[in-house]
Amino acid sequence: MTRGTKLAAVVKANAYGHGTAEVAPFAAAHADWLAVHTAEEARRLRRLGLSSPVLIMGFMARGELHDLDADVHVFVSTDEVLRWLGEYRRSSGISLPIHLKIDTGTKRQGFERSRIADVCRTAAGEGLSIVGIATHFANIEDTLEHDFARRQLALFGDAVAALRRELSSDVPYVHAACSAASLLFRETDFNLARIGISMYGHWPSRETRLTWILDHGRNGVKLEPALAWRTVIGQFQHVATGETVGYGRTWRALRATRLAVLPVGYADGYARALSNRARVLVGGRPVPVVGRVCMNMMMVDVTDVPEAAVGDEVVLLGRQGDAAVTAEELAELSGTINYEFLCRLSPAIPRFVVGDAGEVAAR
């Protein structure tokens, strides 16, 4: 990020699955802002005792506008939300500061640039202040071609100029960058950057990492995943040659096999698509998941780890000895991306913060 740019630590979706209660206090101590998707997530941050300015980036339903203080800023991309914010101001006396979300080609959220003058008039009529302007890129993560991002950036520049003219003043907060944008395009930093996945120690995508390496070489940014996911061996099963394992009998033993049963399943976020595909670490060695992943249990083949015992640590995600399993690997094996794999980790899994750097370990 550029010096002088303020950092909004994105802690939506249970802090990308890492745990809001564990991550947000650490993020609040190191970042200027916290960014979330919903009003309820903003209230949760306040209940955790955090007083940082908060940016609500997602949709706002009318019923969600309550118990929000004046340090909670809101992305506005519809006339309805503008009106509801006006009603909230009249009923509570609290005017939530507005950041105009401008659509520059993502076609997800945001006003057309041509609406800026008219939106400014409505906001003024409702007694609301526009303190920021923002956009979000459509195609920075998934590609090595960044022409579309540059076009979006140019359109955003026009929108910022239009808003300045309309308000006859500078706009305090101008922001467009997510992790990939901030990593690859310094010029997207403006004065606030909304950083999610890279804060948790993950590259947004292989393409982002490749683009970085092509532009800067291998050195410079080293991202270390903050989260590890561990469990223990619950019990063993002995399977004779030819016997099958689990629901649907999808795995058949080609040798006398010792299975370890683990108390983790797809309800915890270990995707069922990983059945017969993924590996976990036992005794510092990768061992295969065999049979279908069940709702709350799964089986792994530990025949080649004879010393394994009930209660031994099993690493589902993270390092053990010299071996590692990454979120990227599990995401790819289950047909998704690291973002989805991480934020689907069940909030019910106990999380423990370990290490000085506030490394978050989920067990």
Ligand X SMILES: *Cc1c(COP(=O)(O)O)cnc(C)c1O
Q: From the CB of 334, what's the least distance to ligand X, in Å?
A: 19
By beta carbon distance, the residue nearest ligand X is 196
Question: Under DSSP, is residue 194 helix (H, G, I), strand (E, B) or coil?
Answer: strand
Q: Contact between 194 and ligand X (CB under 6 A)?
A: yes
3-state helix, strand, coil in the chain (%, to 5): 35, 25, 40
Q: Contact between 196 and ligand X (CB under 6 A)?
A: yes
Q: Contact between 179 and ligand X (CB under 6 A)?
A: yes
In the stretch 28-57, what mask flags binding to ligand X with x, by CB under 6 A? -----------------------------x
How far CA 205 is from CA of 57, 111, 136, 181, 259, in Å, comes to: 22, 28, 17, 12, 34
Token pair 């890279």 is at which residue? 198
Token pair 């950092």 is at which residue? 7
Residue 247: active-site member: yes
CA distance 248 to 161: 61
- Count of residues interacting with ligand X (CB under 6 A): 12
Q: Contact between 76 and ligand X (CB under 6 A)?
A: no
Residue 270: active-site member: no
Q: Contact between 225 and ligand X (CB under 6 A)?
A: no
DSSP run (H or E) holding 47 = helix 39-47
For ligand X, the binding residue among 27, 31, 138, 197 (CB under 6 A) is 197
For ligand X, the binding residue among 5, 7, 9, 10 (CB under 6 A) is 10
Q: Contact between 344 and ligand X (CB under 6 A)?
A: no
DSSP run (H or E) holding 333 = helix 327-333
CA distance 334 to 327: 10
Asked if 353 and 314 count as a contact pair (C-beta separation under 8 A), the reply is no
Task: Indicate left, alpha or beta for 284 from its phi (over 0: left) and psi (-120 to 50: alpha).
Answer: left
Q: Which two tokens stand for residue 69?
A: 């203080």
Q: Contact between 115 and ligand X (CB under 6 A)?
A: no
Stretch that binds ligand X, among 176-184, 212-220, 228-236, 237-245 (CB under 6 A): 176-184
Q: Contact between 153 and ligand X (CB under 6 A)?
A: no
Residue 102: which of 70, 137, 73, 128 has the closest Cα? 137
Stretch that binds ligand X, among 46-54, 111-119, 172-180, 242-250 (CB under 6 A): 172-180
Catalytic residue (choose from 6, 12, 88, 107) = 12
Asked if 361 and 35 count as a contact pair (C-beta separation under 8 A), the reply is no
Q: Which two tokens stand for residue 250?
A: 């999808």
Sign of the CA dihedral with 175 first, then 177, 179, and 184 last: negative
Q: From the CB of 176, what's the least distance to ligand X, in Å?
A: 9
For ligand X, the binding residue among 136, 146, 230, 279 (CB under 6 A) is 136
Nearer to ligand X, 132 or 196 (CB): 196
Nearer to ligand X, 181 or 282 (CB): 181
Q: From the CB of 312, what's the least distance to ligand X, in Å?
A: 34
Q: Contact between 178 and ligand X (CB under 6 A)?
A: yes
Q: From the CB of 219, what's the least distance to ligand X, in Å?
A: 22
Catalytic residue (choose from 173, 200, 247, 266) = 247
> Any residues with CB less than 8 A from the CB of 230 and at least 6 apart, and which?
313, 314, 315, 316, 318, 361, 362, 363
Nearer to ligand X, 200 or 229 (CB): 200
Residue 255: which of 292, 288, 293 has the closest Cα? 288
Q: From the CB of 178, what's the least distance to ligand X, in Å?
A: 3
Residues in contact with ligand X by CB under 6 A are: 10, 12, 57, 136, 178-180, 194-197, 204
Please give the positions annotated as active site: 12, 247
